[in-house]
Amino acid sequence: DSGVTQTPKHLITATGQRVTLRCSPRSGDLSVYWYQQSLDQGLQFLIQYYNGEERAKGNILERFSAQQFPDLHSELNLSSLELGDSALYFCASSVRGVDEQFFGPGTRLTVL
Amino acid sequence: AQSVTQPDIHITVSEGASLELRCNYSYGATPYLFWYVQSPGQGLQLLLKYFSGDTLVQGIKGFEAEFKRSQSSFNLRKPSVHWSDAAEYFCAVGAMEYGNKLVFGAGTILRVKS
């Protein structure tokens, strides 16, 4: 157990819908990262937050957004969902930013 | 652009045999290097990391990796594989200059035969 929690574990929804994925980092970690894992793209970095502020952005679609709240938990919002958004979404956290990242168990999103 | 190459998609080894998983990277900054393992349906577990210093690093579960700057490689090794090591292994690279995001290789699936 890495100490990073993610909810829900599984999510099944329809195209065009919007979902919110939640992540709670390890106690004391200020930095949160979101990654997408799919069969065709592999593991891709989406976005990073550090102490409530966006720090780095990767291959995140405009339909996707994220935020980190004052209690340091983070949410990833996915809207206008498409079949291709079906993937495993991981949250990771680290103490600051320049150190190892600990991954949560992931949320498996299925878009039908 | 930053990239990580794991040239072997699948590797099969016999239980008790030695293992080496290859990782090469291309990075325009001083890299930090990691190996993660993922069991089916599970998240990613950190095996070991390299930031600086001794280029041979020890990790959990008896794994080690060696950083070779001249070859841009960070290969993972284990002297004797156990059946429970069967999983998918990912090499990842990060750098402070790029916000410490991790760039992952495509992964190597390890099968262990008894």
Q: What is the pLDDT of residue A2?
A: 87
| Token pair for A25 | 């980092």
The answer to whether residue B37 scores a pLDDT higher than 70 is: yes
Q: Tell me the percentage of chain B whose pLDDT exceeds 70.
A: 100
Give the tens place of pLDDT for each residue, A48-69: 999 999 998 998 999 999 999 9
Distance of residue A10 Cα from the nearest chain B Cα, in angstroms: 11
Contacts from A66-74 at CB under 8 Å and sequence distance 24+? A66/A34, A68/A32, A72/A24, A72/A25, A72/A29, A72/A30, A72/A32, A73/A22, A73/A23, A73/A24, A73/A25, A74/A22, A74/A23, A74/A25, A74/A32, A74/A34, A74/A49
DSSP character at residue A23 = E
Average pLDDT, chain B: 93
In chain B, positions 27-66, which contact chain A (CB-CB < 8 Å)?
A: 32, 34, 36, 42-46, 49
| Token pair for B35 | 């190996």
Cβ–Cβ < 8 Å for B44, B50: no
In sequence order, the β-bridge partners of residue B50 are B33
Q: What is the pLDDT of residue A98?
A: 65
Q: Strand ranges (DSSP E) for chain B?
A: 3-5, 10-14, 19-21, 24-26, 32-38, 44-50, 56-58, 64-68, 73-78, 87-94, 103-104, 108-113
Put the strands of the sheet holding A19-24 in their side by side order.
Answer: A5-7, A19-24, A74-78, A64-68
Question: Which chain A residue shows the shortest CA-CA distance from B49?
Answer: A100
> Comparing C-alpha atoms, which of B40, B33, B15, B14 is closest to residue B109?
B40
Which residue in the set A2, A58, A104 is minimally distant from B101, CB to CB? A58
The answer to whether residue B100 scores a pLDDT higher than 90 is: no
The answer to whether residue B44 scores a pLDDT higher than 80 is: yes
Give the tens place of pLDDT for each residue, A20-31: 999 999 999 999
In sequence order, the β-bridge partners of residue B87 are B110
At B73, the amino acid letter reads S
- Among A72-76, A80-84, B85-89, B91-95, the range scoring the smallest mean pLDDT is B91-95
The answer to whether residue B97 scores a pLDDT higher than 80 is: no
- State whether A56 and B106 contact (CB < 8 Å): no
Q: What is the pLDDT of residue B15?
A: 97
CA dist., res. B68 & res. B24, Å (int) = 10
B10-14 vs B108-113, strand pairing mode: parallel
> For residue A97, what pLDDT band results from cuts at 50, 70 and 90?
low
- State whether B104 and A33 contact (CB < 8 Å): no
Q: What is the pLDDT of residue A62?
A: 96
Q: What is the pLDDT of residue B53?
A: 87
- Among B22-26, B39-43, B65-69, the range scoring the smallest mean pLDDT is B39-43
| Residues 6+ positions from B63 with CB-CB distance below 8 Å | B35, B47, B48, B76, B77, B78
The answer to whether residue B1 scores a pLDDT higher than 80 is: no
Average pLDDT, chain A: 94
**SS3 (DSSP) at A110:** strand
Give the tens place of pLDDT for each residue, B59-84: 999 999 999 999 999 999 999 999 99
- State whether A102 and B46 contact (CB < 8 Å): yes
Span A9-26, mean pLDDT?
98
